[in-house]
Amino acid sequence: MTFEHCVRCTICVENCPVYKVEPLFPGPKQSGPDAQRFRLDGEKSVDQWVKYCCQCRRCEVACPYGVQVAEIILKAQLKYGEEHLSPFSSHLFANAYHLEAIGSTLAPLFNRVAALSLTKKAMSLFGISGELDLPAFRFLNLERGRRRKGRGRKVVFFYGCHLNFNRPDIGTGIRDLLVSMGCRVVMPPQTCCGLPALGNGDLDMARKYANKNASVLTSYIDRGFDVVYACTSCGLSLVQDYPGILDVEGGRKIAENTYNVHEYILSLIQQGSVKIPLGILERKIAYHIPCHLRALGIGYPATKLFKLIDGLQVSVLEDHCCGMAGTYGFKKRNQNTAARLGEIASGAIRGLGVDAVVADCGACRMQLEHFTGLPALDPSEIIREALQNSPEHRGKTEKGIVRWWRGIKDARHAARTLPAWPRR
Amino acid sequence: MSAVTHDVVVIGGGMSGLMASAYLAGKGFKTALISQGDPVCCLSTGCVDVLSPGTHPLEGFDGLPPGHPYRLVGRKGIEDGCRLFKEIMATTTIPYAGTVRKNREILTPIGTFKTTCLVPLTMTGAEGCRDGYTHVISFNGLRDFYPSYITSRLKNTGFSLYDAGITSTLGIATRFEDKAFLEAFIAWIEGLEIPPGKVALPAVLGIQSPVQIMEEISRRIGSEVFEIPTLPPSIPGLRLFRALKGALTARGGDLYWGKAVGSVECRGSMVEAVTLATQGRPSRVQGRAFILATGSFVSGGLFARIDTVNETVFDLPVYVPGPRKDWFWNDFFTAGHPIEKAGIEVDGSLRPTRSDLKNLFVCGSILAHGEIMKNHCGHGLAIATGLKAARICEGFLS
């Protein structure tokens, strides 16, 4: 639906996280469909406020008429980015993949240098917020690990940059979870999904990344593989942007054959091909729904898996954006907005008396861990913990999932002190 | 692929759909709620109008035409619906006051009084504010709320303006959740030296915990505080919607938000599944029973073409009051337009007539002959028919 279908009801405005806290942002209605009525093709864009939009796409999910508010704003952002000199931080973050690859290669050194206050001061000169710590990088990333495992149903795992460079432990955990369910998991060479480049106003760069991934993924899909993603932002990019705004070759095919990992596990259970022996897990968790999982429109598959776990108490929170929005919160310009939104989102969690925050998105986890002080986990970690507690797994020698879970637990403990790869 | 069979699939996330799904989820049924976007109740004042605007909400019940949906639920059904609604809201941070026995009064932003049946606790203070002094507090730059409308109409009133640093209702409401902002605001009021009486504010006292914030201000300044509903973006409407949705997820309901139903799968006279129109692979939601609560024209449940009206999900036959030239009057607010009668006609068990679907139940403003504007029964009708549909569904499933 185009801007002409907008009836100006302001439901999108009620859902905009940035509009809530940033007086300079006029809200999705005004910067989206309203302003679009005045934007002419030949004219230079003048609405500099579009850069405040964090592309959480809550407006699009909320719109009862299906107007693609966020996409209208995204196009305006791209046009504005083309016509105006964009800040250096945008160029840096558009290239997030390469930066992270460097960070990972030089991991122990890079992590220590990044934590120095002098480095933070230097970064703030480039428009990067010095308030937040950069996530710790791991040298033994997924690219350097085992790329094929198991046999059975053919699955390509699109792990995304965050799991690759920062949390390979979660990545290998998901790989082994799928393997234990009778999947042959392949993790082919892949690059950034392109969303950071798109969010930082660089359409060409985003296309370049997307084309690279698309050629790999389509070749696997043609051989009967299903694509599975864990990061919901990568997933949204694969499903919505590849056939949509990026318009890459084979985009439609990718969109049709791509699954959220929990959606995939559910479908395996549904088909009766696997039984997962989930044990009792006495925990109380808050499940923060990432904005991009909402935008996917597939419901919240992980909640259905959580319901299969006895003893697990889950509070689903879906009304708050954590404020990080990928690279958005790392920019100095947005740091106050991000911090306020993080405060609001974690305020809702604090009152619940939970022992952990669970979120599918790496950026959400970083932000919420920072603001709530609670451990932030991926849903797959909860599922693996429940599997570990099952009577079928207990007492066996440490193999497969159990061994991995041990390794991950140790790694999480170690991560608090030193950046380290899971000990085997 | 993502299908896991639900007991009930409710289509439409408005008042009616939320009530039906919250009730069923509370009874232990596996419930899914599908909605293309947020409902119109987000734009409402948050108050529940049941029927007549006089002193007694149900005094006009006997005057309703025979086909009106209220006739199907009866007086008792309306009472039960309102009671259940209040019970559900009492479990959230947005409790409601009022009964179907007596209407209440709230103050409007233009200084008039409006009667309504169920009122959020933050607005109840408006009753009796004619008798004493009322001080209106607004905010610098807040659009669509002008305290002088109130002070020029109501005697014994005054107003002050506070600078909140942001000019939208949503922005101010968000700031009220912040302790430091609230403290500064209270300190400012204490310095105003307002004559004894009541304090009225536009409805911006927080989104999550308005009652707590209202009581805190009230306790500290020593006078009763209440809210006045505003134009959209309306915070009380947003609170109502979020609280009901939260009540549903707390009862274990599944949400599918943001995508419309693309196609429907039927076998014989049973609906088996609906498919969501996602960008990628269509997402299939299976169920044993279905509730249609997609609302009327504004909500997208009905779609008008030049001379016909379509139902957008199941393509059910729609009752239309004659050809297009008979759809509209000149006078909208007192008599309503005849096209408001359009909708789905149902039998006593809320199954659509002129359709052979056995496991589909219809509720809310999509029902024919509701004439919501004319009968002042928007939320009330949604609540009562939503509960009725849920109860019929309960019987059908067990």
Could you tell me if A206 lies within 8 Å of chain B, comparing CB atoms? no
Yes or no, beta carbons of B254 and A66 under 8 Å apart = no
Query: Please, how many CA atoms are within 13 Å of residue A386, restricted to the half-sphere of its CB?
Result: 24
Nearest in space to A342 (alpha carbons), one of A369, A318, A315: A369
Could you tell me if A30 lies within 8 Å of chain B, comparing CB atoms? no
Tokens of A402: 């159990």
Residue B161's DSSP bridge partners are: B138
**Quick one: pLDDT at residue A417?**
36
Place of tokens 């119109």: B40
Residue contacts between A and B (CB atoms, under 8 Å): 126
Residue B330 and residue B337: Cα distance in Å, rounded?
8
Nearest in space to A318 (alpha carbons), one of A361, A285, A287, A353: A287
Place of tokens 């109409």: B153
Residue A287's DSSP bridge partners are: A316, A358
Nearest in space to B2 (alpha carbons), one of B363, B274, B224: B274
The H or E element containing residue B388 is helix B378-397
Residue where one domain finishes, among candidates A39, A67, A83: A83
Share of chain B above pLDDT 70, in %: 98
**Quick one: pLDDT at residue A28?**
95
Identify all chain A residues contacting B165, using CB atoms and an 8 Å cutoff. 23
Mean pLDDT of A156-177: 94
Residue where one domain finishes, among candidates A28, A52, A83: A83
Going by C-beta distance under 8 Å and a sequence separation of 6 or more, which residues neighbour residue A126?
A88, A89, A92
Torsion sign across C-alpha atoms A137, A139, A142, A143: positive
Is the peptide bond preceding residue B321 cis, with omega within 30 degrees of 0?
no
Identify all chain B residues contacting A1, using CB atoms and an 8 Å cutoff. none
| DSSP three-state, residue B138 | strand
Residue B159 and residue B142: Cα distance in Å, rounded?
14
Instruction: Give the minimum alpha-carbon distance from A304 to chain B in angstroms, rounded to a whole number.
Output: 8
b (16+ CB within 10 A) / e for B344-383: bbbeeebbbeebebebbbbbbbbbbbbbbebbbbbbbbbb
- Out of B40, B174, B260, closest to residue A344 by CB: B174
Yes or no, beta carbons of B255 and A239 under 8 Å apart = no
CB interface of A with B, residues 251-290, below 8 Å = 255-259, 263, 266-267, 270
User: What pLDDT, in 10s, does the model give residues A325-364?
Assistant: 888 988 888 989 999 999 999 999 998 999 999 999 999 9
**How many residues are listed for chain B in this entry?**
398
Phi and psi at A286, nearest 5°, equal -105, 125
Mean of per-residue pLDDT scores for chain B: 93
Torsion sign across C-alpha atoms B197, B167, A330, A195: positive
| Chain A residue closest in CA terms to B256 | A299
Assigned domain for A160 exists: no
Residue B390 and residue B39: Cα distance in Å, rounded?
19
Beta-carbon count within 10 A of A407 CB: 18
Residue B376 and residue B380: Cα distance in Å, rounded?
9
Residue B50 and residue B79: Cα distance in Å, rounded?
10
**Domains identified in chain A, total number:** 2
Mean pLDDT of A140-166: 91
Place of tokens 């690059």: A191
Choose between A410 and B154: higher pLDDT.
B154
CB–CB of A372/A357 below 8 Å? yes
- Out of A62, A243, A344, closest to residue B279 by CB: A243
Yes or no, beta carbons of B177 and A347 under 8 Å apart = yes
Yes or no, beta carbons of B250 and A65 under 8 Å apart = no
Q: Which of A326-340, B88-102, B176-190, B355-369 has the lowest mean pLDDT?
A: A326-340
Residue B104's DSSP bridge partners are: B116
| Chain B residue closest in CA terms to A21 | B171
How distant, in Å, are the alpha carbons of A312, A389, B14, B364 from that of A279? 10, 5, 37, 42
Assigned domain for A292 exists: yes
Q: For residue A46, what is the domain's CATH number?
A: 1.10.1060.10
**Quick one: pLDDT at residue B88?**
96
Interface of B with A (CB under 8 A): 1-4, 32, 36-40, 42-43, 165-168, 170-171, 174, 177, 208, 232-233, 238, 242, 246, 249-250, 252, 254-260, 276, 278-281, 283, 285, 299-300
The H or E element containing residue B160 is strand B157-162
**Quick one: pLDDT at residue A43?**
85
Identify all chain B residues contacting A344, using CB atoms and an 8 Å cutoff. 174, 177
Angle formed by the axes of helices B210-221 and B179-190, nearest 10°: 30
**Quick one: pLDDT at residue A422?**
33
Could you tell me if A234 lies within 8 Å of chain B, comparing CB atoms? no
Could you tell me if A315 lies within 8 Å of chain B, comparing CB atoms? yes
Residue B299 and residue B12: Cα distance in Å, rounded?
9
Could you tell me if A378 lies within 8 Å of chain B, comparing CB atoms? no
Choose between A390 and A33: higher pLDDT.
A33
Residue where one domain finishes, among candidates A62, A83, A104: A83
User: What pLDDT, in 10s, does the model give residues A211-266?
Assistant: 999 999 999 999 999 999 999 999 999 999 999 999 999 999 999 999 999 999 99
Assigned domain for A287 exists: yes
**How many residues are listed for chain A in this entry?**
424
Rounded to the nearest 10°, the torsion over CA A348, A349, A351, A356 is 180
State the best of A1, A7, A8, A11 to mutate against chain B, taking most chain B CBs within 10 Å: A11
The H or E element containing residue B183 is helix B179-190
Domain with A342 in it: 277-417
Instruction: Give the minimum alpha-carbon distance from A15 to chain B in angstroms, rounded to a whole number.
Output: 9
Residue A404 and residue A87: Cα distance in Å, rounded?
42
**Quick one: pLDDT at residue A403?**
64
Share of chain B above pLDDT 90, in %: 84
Residue B56 and residue B58: Cα distance in Å, rounded?
6
CB–CB of A92/B289 below 8 Å? no
Residue B81 and residue B18: Cα distance in Å, rounded?
12
Could you tell me if A376 lies within 8 Å of chain B, comparing CB atoms? no
**Quick one: pLDDT at residue A174?**
95
**Quick one: pLDDT at residue B136?**
96
Residue B256's DSSP bridge partners are: B34
DSSP string, B227-285: EE--SSSPHHHHHHHHHHHHHHHHTT-EEEES--EEEEEEETTEEEEEEE--SSSPEEE
**Quick one: pLDDT at residue A273?**
73
Residue B178 has pLDDT above 50, yes or no: yes
**Quick one: pLDDT at residue B130?**
86
Q: For residue A307, what is the domain's CATH number?
A: 3.40.50.1860
Assigned domain for A263 exists: no
CB–CB of A55/A25 below 8 Å? no
Residue A396 has pLDDT above 80, yes or no: no
Yes or no, beta carbons of B278 and A239 under 8 Å apart = yes
Assigned domain for A64 exists: yes
Domains of chain B: 6-95+238-397 (3.50.50.60), 109-228 (3.40.50)
> Roughly how many angstroms between the first and final C-alpha of chain B, as a whole number?
27
A296: amino acid identity, one letter: L
User: What pLDDT, in 10s, does the model give residues B228-282?
Assistant: 999 989 999 999 999 999 999 999 999 999 889 999 999 999 999 999 988 788 8
Yes or no, beta carbons of A27 and B276 under 8 Å apart = no
Rounded to the nearest 10°, the torsion over CA A5, A9, A15, A21 is 120
Beta-carbon count within 10 A of B214 CB: 23
**Quick one: pLDDT at residue A84?**
84
Bin A134: left if φ > 0, else alpha if -120 < ψ < 50, else beta.
beta
